[in-house]
Structure 1
Amino acid sequence: MDPSSLFGIAQFFIDKLASLAAEELSLALGVKQDLLEIQNKVSFIKAVLLDAEQKQKQNNELGEWLKQIKRILSTAEDVIDDFECEALRKQVVNTSGSVRRKVRHFVSSSNPLIYRVKMAHRIKDIKERLDKVAEIRDKFGLQIIDSDNRVVQRRETHSGVNESDVIGRGKDKQKIVKLLLEDSYSEKLSIVTIVGIGGLGKTTLAKAVFNDKSVVEFFPLKMWICVSNDFDFENLVVKIINSVPSQNHHENVRNLGLEQLLKKVRNALAGQKFLLVLDDVWNEDRVKWEELKDLIQIGGQGCKVIVTTRSLKVAEMMGTHSSSLDLQGLSREDSLSVFYKWAFKEGEEKRHPELMEIGKCIVDKCGGVPLALRTLGSSLFLKVDVREWMFVRDNEIWNLPQKEDDILHAIKLSYDQLPSYLKRCFACFSLFEKDFQFNSFHTIVLWEALGFLQSPHKGETLKDIGNQYLHELQSRSFLQDFIDYGSAYKFKLHDLVHDLALYVSRDEFQLLSSSSENISENALHLSYTKSHLLGKTDFPLGLRTILFPVGVNNEAFLNTLVSRCKYLRVLQINNSGYESLPHSIGKLKHLRYLNLEDNEELKSLPDSVCKLQNLINLNLSGCIELQELPNGIGNLISLQQLHITTRQSKFPDKEIAKLTSLEILTLVSCDKLKSLFEGIELPSLKYLDIGSCRSLRYVPLHVIPNLESLSIDGCNKLKLSMGHDDNQIAKLRLKLLYLESLPQLATFPQWLRGCAETLQSLVIVDCDNLDELPMWLSTLFCLKTLSIENCPGLLSLPDDVHHLANLEYLKMKGCPGLCRRYQPKVGQDWPKISHIKQVIIESLELEN
């Protein structure tokens, strides 16, 4: 893995040492002084890590030093986690019932004397190893850098452009030119932003616009500024002065004071109608932007600024949504044109039909990104050997030789700019294949299980931190098809971003898809794509993550894994043929994430699973043959997510009530359950998903006062009144309500009105008997998403639907009468919804 995340790892470890559990157990074990010395040594090393990470390419010995540090910190983290496991074990022992049971549980788990000696020995060993690496810190001549605010070097750009290089951007260019030429009497200065991932052609498009004839004629003054490395006010002022043709460039403006520089800018721009391009902006500090904006607003009416950036946050800060272009990849036809342009001499491609066919596959790898098309096309220029073309086709882009300004370097700039705490989180995406549909619940719990989330501040949760990380990655264009459902998100990675994840995470994270791949001795996280690859049992003992392939049924491998990899944090076994799990799984005390989804042969779980007090996620969804939940599930005191499919008829309400950290509960195909949550309260529960529980008649929502997301699907007997009068149900805080295949639903219950201040997403699917939406729907003023599919009885929306000012997404599908009435531009009620940013109307009747 790219060592540039080591700074964040060191900081995380220091924070972990300061935790309450470590403090208490260090006193109990008599190793407090040793832990304090370890903390000081790690702080001493951390001070130079940022400088070391930047210089390691020029010094192999320095690179090895960083690898040693990483291995030591990994081992040390296991020890501290062991302390936390011991604290949780004692907590369960103290609350698990009779004295006899407490003693039996304690003795069976560990001998305190042996444990004390063993852990003290391990701590001293870590201290000695750290002493050795710390001793040689100063020999490398490294500088002390305390904060991770590095500046990544990027190339300077210019305004010159070859029109033949601008392929497939005609419509985008027209849109930008139109925005530039229209009069803006409301604002003296208008901002147009172009946003997209590295290599997508933002700068090339800006150049094409900058040199367009109509733009040249419209703006007497045009300036091109490459911002890149630093949004420093004084440097930008100097660049503006140097880009104004009327200025005396014989004078060295660098020698002028700030006041003299500002005077020159004012003299140059005052009253002028100008176009200013700020290319490659990364600054997210609004104060810096407002300072520059205040200066250049001295121009005349109709001045425009074009901003190119990879960051949605930058675009939102500097411009407006209506004047922002979210640049997409080229069409396949245009992609082929770009690729052939760089791979062949003009007109030569038709002489090589076999290469053209291979080229189509290569083009698909590039995801419409012009720089990737140019990079791979150029690498094949004048090469007619089919084998060379097939090599490019069959290899990941990051495995191919590239130059300094090629695609991998371009997109890696975005990664290099990430703060250290995000780099390991981003690396996790490499464990999944291309086109994988991620959801925020799965992603955040994976990060949490691996200890990649920073400690939350007061009033925050780890989920809040995880959501913040996702928004940061999305704002930097790492995530695409990002859909906000109010309480959850779904997204994908662009193929090239996936390639980047594979590249920066190699060695530590491995996605195994071929028997020819060797498992790295430094691997901590493994993901298998095929069952036959499990024969490679030479996995490292320090594994933290293992994701099994679909269809696995290798009992020997599972037994070996459980017995040898005692530091596992994440174990995923989906769609397997296992009928049971080994009893020894209860010894994986570090395990935090156990995903057994869709194991249709699984009939039972050993009760030893309930010894996994560190477990934060247990997924049994889709285990249709599972007879019952293991005894003692209430002992999983760290559990935050529980996903269940079971054949038992009575829900273990009292055991579930002990799970005071439980936030997410999913019940799928629990066909024998008739009721839930009898005589208990679940104040921590925020997300409840009930699917295909065909005997379920009611759910007492009033016992879940903090519920944020409610999803109900295929529950034929369930009534939304939940067996209570609406007035008995307390005011809810729902953000998302998803209803599907509910034949009992004819009208909405009144209690939904209590969500007016919180509800953001309402999705209704396959509710055949729903014939009207309530008039009070328009009081849900926070609603952002409304989706109605296959509800043929619905003929209209409430008359005052236009009062939903925050509604951004409206979808209607399979509702002929409804779709006809609100058909864009021609439907009789289209004006009532025309203000909504994204409207999707689909009806089979309309299509025919």
Structure 2
Amino acid sequence: MLSAWGLGIQMYTNIKHDDKKWEPLKICLSKGALGSKILVTTRNESVAKMMGSVDTHLLRPMSDSECFALLSQIAFEKQKEHHNILEAIGRKIAQKCGGLPLAAKTLGSLLRLKDTVQEWNIVLNSEIWQMEIAEVEIFPHLYLSYNELQPAVKRCFSYCAIFPKDLEIDVNTLIRIWMAQGFLSGETAEKMELKGREYVQDLAVRSFFQDIEEDDLGGHISSCKMHDIIHDFAQFLTKSECFIVDITDDEDITAKEVFCRNARHLSWEDHGRASSPVLICSVEKLRSFLCAKYLPSHVLGTLKSVRVLDLSSCGLQELSPEIGNLIHLRYLDLSDNPIRELPRTLCDLYYLQTLNLNRCDKLSKLPEEIYKLINLRYLVASYVSYDAPSLPQGLEKLTGLRQLRCFKTERRGSRLGWLKILNQLKGHMSIIIDILNDESDVIEAQNAALKNKNGLQSLSLVFRGEVRMDVMEALQPPPNLLGLLFYGYVGIEFPRWITTSLNNLKYLRIKYCSSLPPLGNLQSLEEFSIFRMKKMKYLGREFLGIRGDGRAIAFPKLKSLKFYSCEEWTEWEDIREREEEDVVSIMPCLRKLRVYNCPNLKALPHRLLRRTPLDRLDISYSDLLIEQFKSRGGYEFLRPTCQVKIPSD
């Protein structure tokens, strides 16, 4: 067993020649545990020498045959006609890769989209191979794929040069920024979103994007990254328009001026030191301004042409009224700022499409005239507490809204009816629900018509008081809902629709509630998590929805079942011995069971779990259950290959 651990560090080339910058890092790392080793990876040998490496291992370029093996693995993913002829051409193309893995991967992604000998020969005989620009030795390979893109996709890709290297790019944000810049064609926001996703998919297929992550609900690409060399290529394409200025160290701040006169898109990271340099550029011509950490006070009023303005994490406690002068602004990100109030002039931004207020926890309200933002499509605000900003009268006029992350009811008039005609809402929405016990609350809930909002994929219902059952029934979500969270519901009974209407529900979380409904007949449910059920002492068989005649199929697609901090829970009822052979199926797809901080639970239902093909059982902070397993060897109901995680003494 290894007693030391490795730390991998990637050294970026923009500071590779300044050993002063490595000195503080080297001092920190020299205090590691005995036997620890540091692994430095770099594209420049001088960095290894500067770090005083004990052993330098130079990776040789791949051989032509290795390049072809990598290229063909991607290029021939689908069976092609003329395979033998294409293979011969492919070997010649592989020789042009110069032993570079990224080149082989990029060309493989390009050739995968081509089916004929003629198309492969065009790649082989391209004049791009004659490029002799030293600093872009790999760029010819990228140009081949880049030139295959539609002009609109080229523009969207090259714009990504404005983002910092190694950034995890949120795809929804990226598409909204493309939309704000006018890069996406389409008559409606929905068509532009679809076009944006098509472009992202195209770039991912051609390996311009990597580290792809997909969302759980729609299966769309949710995030991605750009390889450093791909990012360098994008910057090369836009070197006269896109600039990234990072004021982070002593050498940088001794510079008096930063020149980027022709910039149209600028990313500015300034940590607000007194001697920060002066920015020399045509600020009034900027169409994008991404600012991190510190916003110079004189800049905001000069951004006359800006369409995308990102002021996230700038420490803003107030937003200047001058924001209202940015008449071309389409995208405004104010997330992660301690702003208490937004100026009224914000509502003068007629063309504003996206307003991001994520984690602006001190914001108490939105401007009263927000209804004037008739082009607003995305009001993004994720709140983890009840202190969400109050929504002003007139919200219902924003009929183009496609995202409203949080809606808050009020005790004096629930306002739920404001949602009536907002039927373009999509994605996720949280509704914070106050005490709703009046007849008028029923009418408001019915007018909200949540069941008609078919674009909603997931819904959080957060309760902070009693809600009468007819209001609950009126809050029925759309039938195609994929994810649902119940938080703080104190009712003994749940609305009927949770067991009868959500046939497509895949993810369910129940937190701080007082009981559980019989959920076994949810035909599509795959993940079910139960949190802090403080009043639950007994989990009976009715939870499975087993019928009296014994012909039940409970949770037919459930893969993951998790219990968290159910501290009063003592018993989980098992199926009866005489039922064991009669019951058709109980959780036949269950793969993962987790019990966390349930200290009074005495045993797991052995006969029930004997019918499930568990791959993983995880028990933590549940002393009685852990003791049972240790003393009785309680593994007889588990598959031999099941991974069991139980704390040792």
Per the TM superposition, whether the score is higher than 0.5 is yes
Find the partner of 1:662 among 369, 392, 401: 401
> Is 1:482 paired with 2:213?
yes
Q: Which amino acid aligns with 1:422?
A: V
Instruction: Spell out, residue by residue over 1:696-729, the C-alpha distance to the aligned partner (whole angstroms, 9 max, x if none).
Output: 7588374342243365669342679885253x45
1:465 CA drift (Å): 1.8
Q: Distance in 1 between matches of 2:390 and 2:74?
A: 66
Give the direction of change, closer, same or farther, for the CA distance of 1:587–1:284 in structure 2 (3 Å limit): same
Question: Once the two structures are superposed, what CA deviation does each residue of 1:717-768 show, in whole Å capped at 9, x if it has no partner?
Answer: 2679885253x45671544324275354877643245765654x41426556
The Cα shift of 1:820 comes to: 14
CA contact (8 A) 1:571 1:595 kept: yes
User: What is the distance in 2 between the residues matched to 1:648 and 1:485?
Assistant: 26
SS at match of 1:466: helix
State how far apart, in whole Å, the 2-side matches of 1:225 and 1:582 are.
55
Decide which of 717, 730, 737 is 2:483's aligned counterpart: 737
Which structure is higher in RCO with an 8 Å CA cutoff and minimum separation 6?
Answer: 1
Assess if the C-alpha contact under 8 Å between 1:435 and 1:492 holds in 2: no
Q: Deviations over 1:592-640 (max 9, x none)?
A: 111222321x233222221211011122343344343223211111010
- Displacement after TM superposition at 1:787 (Å): 5.4
Contact 2:374 2:400 in 1 (8 A): yes
| 1:465–1:717 CA distance, 2 compared to 1 (3 A) | same
Displacement of 1:844 in angstroms is 2.8
Q: What are the within-5 Å matches in structure 2 for residues 639-718 of structure 1?
A: 639-643=376-380, 651-653=391-393, 655-667=394-406, 675-678=414-417, 681=420, 682-690=422-430, 693=432, 695=434, 700=445, 702-704=448-450, 705-709=452-456, 715-717=462-464
Question: In structure 1, what is the equivalent of residue 527 of structure 2?
Answer: 786
- Larger deviation, residues 570-579 vs 408-417: 408-417
| TM-aligned CA distance change 1:500 to 1:664, over 3 Å | same
Answer 1 or 2: which has greater strand percent: 2
Larger mean Cα displacement after TM superposition, 810-819 or 447-456: 810-819
Does the CA-based 8 Å contact 2:522-2:555 persist in structure 1? no
Residues 427-484 of structure 1, C-alpha deviations (whole Å, 9 max, x = no match)? 3444333454433332221111111112259x95222222222333333341424122
Q: Does the C-alpha gap of structure 1 residues 484 and 687 become closer, same or farther in structure 2, counting only changes over 3 Å?
A: closer
How many angstroms does 1:841 deviate by?
6.0
Q: Given the alignment of the two structures, is residue 610 of structure 1 paired with residue 347 of structure 2, yes or no?
A: yes
TM-score (structure 2 length as normaliser): 0.58
User: Is 1:536 matched up with 2:278?
Assistant: yes
User: How far has the Cα of 1:831 moved from its partner?
Assistant: 8.9
State the secondary structure of the residue aligned to 2:318.
Answer: coil
Paired residue for 1:471?
201
Counterparts of 2:198 and 2:607, CA distance in 1: 42
Q: In the alignment, is residue 525 of structure 1 matched against residue 265 of structure 2?
A: yes
Tell me which residue corresponds to 1:580.
318
Q: 1:678-827, aligned counterparts within 5 Å?
A: 678=417, 681=420, 682-690=422-430, 693=432, 695=434, 700=445, 702-704=448-450, 705-709=452-456, 715-717=462-464, 724=471, 726=473, 728=474, 732-739=478-485, 741-742=487-488, 744=490, 749-752=495-498, 756=502, 759=505, 761-764=506-509, 766-767=511-512, 769=514, 771=516, 774-778=519-523, 780=524, 786=527, 788=529, 790=531, 800=553, 803-804=556-557, 810=560, 812=562, 814=564, 822=591
669-678 or 579-588: which moved more? 669-678
CA distance in 1, matches of 2:142, 2:164: 19
Q: Which amino acid aligns with 2:453?
A: N
The structural deviation recorded for 1:822 is 4.5
Instruction: Report the secondary structure of 2:244's partner residue.
Output: strand
Please say if residues 651 and 676 of structure 1, whose CA atoms lie closer than 8 Å, have aligned partners that are also in contact.
Answer: no
The answer to whether the aligner puts 1:568 opposite 2:568 as a matched pair is no
Contact 2:266 2:288 in 1 (8 A): yes
Q: Which residue is equivalent to 1:449?
A: 180
- The AA in structure 1 aligned to 2:326 is L
Aligned AA (2:304)? K
Which runs of structure 2 are paired with 1:228-627 in the superposition (5 Å)?
Answer: 236=83, 238=85, 280=108, 282=110, 404=137, 414-455=145-186, 461-477=191-207, 478-487=209-218, 489-493=221-225, 495-496=227-228, 497-514=230-247, 515=252, 518-532=258-272, 535-540=277-282, 541-550=284-293, 552=294, 554=296, 556-557=297-298, 560-562=299-301, 564-600=302-338, 602-627=339-364
Q: Distance in 2 between matches of 1:685 and 1:419?
A: 30
Q: Give the CA deviation at 1:811.
A: 7.1
Per-residue displacement from partner, 1:666-702 (whole Å, max 9, x unpaired)? Answer: 22899999833336612222345327x5847588374
Question: Structure 2 CA distance, aligned partners of 1:284 and 1:819?
Answer: 39
RMSD across aligned positions (CA): 5.1
- How many Å apart are 1:503 and its aligned residue? 4.6
Equivalent pairs counted in the alignment come to: 467
Percentage identity across paired residues of the two chains: 21
Trace 1:172-191 onto structure 2 (pairs within 5 A). none
Aligned counterpart, 1:153: none
Unpaired segments ≥5 residues, structure 1: 1-164, 168-198, 211-223, 244-278, 292-399
Q: What is the DSSP-based 3-state SS (H/G/I as helix, E as strand, rest coil) of the residue aligned with 1:576?
A: coil
Alignment CA distance shift 1:652-1:599 (3 Å): same
Contact 2:217/2:457 (<8 A) preserved: no
Please tell me the residue identity of whatever aligns with 2:174.
T
Between 1:788-797 and 1:480-489, the stretch displaced more is 788-797
Select between 432-441 and 667-676 the one with higher mean Cα deviation. 667-676
Judge conservation of contact 1:822–1:828 (CA < 8 Å) in 2. Answer: no
Residue aligned with 2:324, SS = helix
